[in-house]
Amino acid sequence: MTATGDPDADRYLRRLERAARGVPGRARWELLADIEAHLSEVIERSPGNPAAVHAALDALGPPDAVAAAAGARPGRPSTRDVATIVLLLVGGILPFPILGWLAGVVLLWSSPSWSTRHRVAATLVWPLGLVAPVLLLISAPFMSSESTVCSGSASTTPTGGTTSPMRCVTSGHGNLPEWLAVTVAVVVLAAPVVVAVWLYRSAARSERADVETAAPVTVW
């Protein structure tokens, strides 16, 4: 499958293959074979002409639209997949600290709905899910509180006069620039959510799919 010899055409076919996962059985293979034959014909007619391939791909239309015309509907993810995503998000806290998240990881790696790429990203980008942002949120009031320490005391100088070399140092964890703290907070909070949405979409797409074939890495 997917071997026209042209990198752009092949990339399009791989993307179509993925988009057409929701197309039932034989119709899917027929669609892929038809589009592959179409592209082979283009390459046959204008060999070594990337512009011709690009024009042909434009005329074919986006893979998602082609797959949709063949009956691929973005399905809804299974309950199991939704449970997986929820556990990954909040399982670090509920129902049991960490254990819930570990269960989510096990479900994640044993579900056919995701590719290795998804699994690695979901495991590493936000270990323990929303634990980090929640901790951050809880500790934020303490972190911003400042303590003022004054050292030294009024002392008598040899000349008899008194000076007060009191030095007050305002310290605390609040020495992070505010913009940086806000950025970090947003990133830490957004990362799990972004990955969760990504997982959800992928699960929806692979719903109704037959057996997961070796998931191609597709970047079209």
Site of interaction with another protein (CB under 8 A): 27, 30-31, 34-35, 37-38, 40-42, 44, 59-61, 63, 65-66, 69-71
d(CA 118, CA 116) in angstroms, rounded, equals: 5
Q: Which is nearer to another protein, 61 or 172 (CB)?
A: 61
* Least Å from the CB of residue 23 to another protein: 8
Q: How far is the CB of 52 from another protein (least distance, A)?
A: 12
Burial of 213 (0-12, 13-18, 19+ CB in 10 A): exposed
Work out how close the CB of 42 gets to another protein at its nearest, in angstroms, rounded to a whole number: 8
Distance CA 94, CA 118 (A): 23
In angstroms, the CA 182 to CA 136 distance is 11
**In the bound complex, what is the minimum distance in angstroms from residue 179's beta carbon to another protein?**
43
Q: Which residues pair with 163 in a beta bridge?
A: 155
User: Which residue number, 23 or 131, has a Cβ lying nearer to another protein?
Assistant: 23
* 168 SS3 class: strand
Residue 61 or residue 112: which is nearer to another protein going by CB? 61
Which one, 68 or 136, has the nearer CB to another protein? 68
Long-range contact list for 185-190, CB < 8 A, 24+ apart? 185/133, 185/136, 185/140, 188/132, 188/133, 188/136, 189/130, 189/133, 189/136
Q: Are 136 and 187 in contact (CB under 8 A)?
A: no
The minimum distance between CB 211 and another protein, in angstroms, equals 22
- Which of 34, 146 has the CB closer to another protein? 34
* Token pair recorded at residue 182: 């806000």
